[in-house]
């Protein structure tokens, strides 16, 4: 299955390190980051899960819940969780799905047979409170993900959902933004009374509404 942006994220029930989870119900009115790991007791995954645990205050500020997935058994997650706490300095503080039957992995297209027909790739799905997929990323098993970038994209999505703006290349929170082309100048004057810098008629730069 290939999930595309704007699709409803498939619902599922699964066992996790924090008990049985019904995904849509668990998400509630929060944003979600669902991300898969090829296998338990692997070095790159261990660093990713530890760093995600350290980011919990940042996720909380943005109303985001994180949930990981591995195709190993739940009993294996328990031992691995101890290793993560020991080596990364932070215990797991979000659920880790046990998916030995590939039910969730297949729902979300996390198995890429030409890479491996047994283990998931490093998939990332950002899901909004309406349960729509807003971001998909796929990393190879050998490359750890950039979770700071995932936070940056969530900041952009939440800002652009609220205001009629888009974020330019390498944007960071607080940087200038761009008025979307669908807003004409008359409407832009009402939305942005402080004015903007018109580099081209289609490229109107304005201070971030959340500076």
Region 177-200 average pLDDT: 96
Region 13-145: CATH code = 3.40.30.10
* pLDDT higher than threshold 80 for residue 116: no
β-strands 64-70, 96-98 pairing: parallel
Domain(s) of CATH 3.40.30.10: residues in the chain: 13-145
* pLDDT higher than threshold 90 for residue 208: yes
At residue 1, the pLDDT reads: 58
Which residue, among 22, 67, 76, has the nearest Cα to 49 in the 3D structure?
67
* pLDDT higher than threshold 80 for residue 188: yes
In Å, how far from its chain's centre is CA 189? 34
Region 4-22 average pLDDT: 96
124 neighbors 110 (Cβ within 8 angstroms): no
Structure confidence by residue, pLDDT tens digits, 20-54: 999 999 999 999 999 998 788 889 999 999 999 99
Residues annotated as catalytic are 45
At residue 78, the pLDDT reads: 86
At residue 38, the pLDDT reads: 79
Domain(s) of CATH 3.30.1020.10: residues in the chain: 163-206
Region 163-206: CATH code = 3.30.1020.10
């Amino acid at each position: 299955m290939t999930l595309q942006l704007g699709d409803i994220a498939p619902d599922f029930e699964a066992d996790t390190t924090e008990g049985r989870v019904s995904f849509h119900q668990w998400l509630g009115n929060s944003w979600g980051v669902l991300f898969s790991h090829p296998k338990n007791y692997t070095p790159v995954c261990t660093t990713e899960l530890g760093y995600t645990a350290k980011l919990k205050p940042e996720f909380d500020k943005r109303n985001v819940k994180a949930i990981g997935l591995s195709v190993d058994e739940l009993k294996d997650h328990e031992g691995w969780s101890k290793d993560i706490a020991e080596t990364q300095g932070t215990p797991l503080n979000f659920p880790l799905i046990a998916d030995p039957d590939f039910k969730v992995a297949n729902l979300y297209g996390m198995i890429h047979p030409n890479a491996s027909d047994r283990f998931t790739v490093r998939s990332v799905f950002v899901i909004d409170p309406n349960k729509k997929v807003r971001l998909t990323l796929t990393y190879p098993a050998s490359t750890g993900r950039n979770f700071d970038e995932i936070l940056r994209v969530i900041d952009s999505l939440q800002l652009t959902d609220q205001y009629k703006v888009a974020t330019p290349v390498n944007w960071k929170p607080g940087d200038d933004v761009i008025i979307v082309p669908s807003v004409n100048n008359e409407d832009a004057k009402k939305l942005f009374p402080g004015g903007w810098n018109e580099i081209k008629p289609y490229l109107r730069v304005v201070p971030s509404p959340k500076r």
